Amino acid sequence: MPSLETLLGFFAASLVLAISPGPDNLFVLTLSTVHGRKAGLIVTLGLCTGLMVHTLAVTFGVAAIFQASDLAFMALKYCGAAYLLYLAWLAFRAKDVGGANQDAPAAGKLYRRGIIMNITNPKVSIFFLALLPQFTDPSRGSIAAQMVVLGGIFILSTLIVFGAVALAAGSISAWMLKSKRARVWLNRLSGLVFIALAIRLATISR
């Protein structure tokens, strides 16, 4: 196990990284504003589940494939971009049904969206591949076990920060969604955000 000092330092660094603007917290912010805090919290759980996948991928060496293979890297990022464009299409065609959150996707769909959004970003795997080993120490036991622990800490920090974003944006949503015009414009805005995220993901390089 890493030392307590290492764990605390990694937790502090993880909080800073989670707070830094990025596609995942923007995703939570957008869905929380459009569909409310519950939707944002469910998406946050999905994103954190995706981080579990990345942690295991790094631990067992799968992430190295995306670092070494241009084809694998491009295939995964284009799948993610296509999915974001699909979400943009859903947002643009969403119909107002006369009440706040009535058109919100089911919990299962929101959870899956969070997972897919996270695992289809190969930059996350490569980021974990570069970050986690820096905080491991061969003299303190299994490297794989240490990386799983560090991944768990990163997930905890993400859950705290993204959960706070969901709650804050959800409070704004409760007020804005009282207006039919605001609901329409929020859906359009979320569609534009998803398109921007898709372009960003499709154009990233390692």
Residues in the chain: 206
The residue with tokens 């459009």 is 34
The radius of gyration computed from the CA coordinates of the chain, to the nearest angstrom, equals 18
- Whether residue 63 contacts residue 57, with contact meaning beta carbons closer than 8 Å, is answered with yes
Overall average pLDDT of the 148-174 stretch: 89
pLDDT at 27 over 70: yes
Per-position DSSP letters for 150-203, written without gaps between them? HHHHHHHHHHHHHHHHHHHHHHHHHHHTTSHHHHHHHHHHHHHHHHHHHHHHHH
Overall average pLDDT of the 50-62 stretch: 87
pLDDT at 96 over 70: no
pLDDT in tens, 99-108: 444 456 889 9
Q: What is the dihedral of CA 156, 158, 160, 163, to 10 degrees?
A: -130
Residue 3, amino acid: S
pLDDT in tens, 184-205: 776 777 778 778 878 877 887 7
Give the lowest-confidence range in 11-25, 52-66, 140-154, 157-171. Answer: 52-66
- Whether residue 117 contacts residue 83, with contact meaning beta carbons closer than 8 Å, is answered with yes
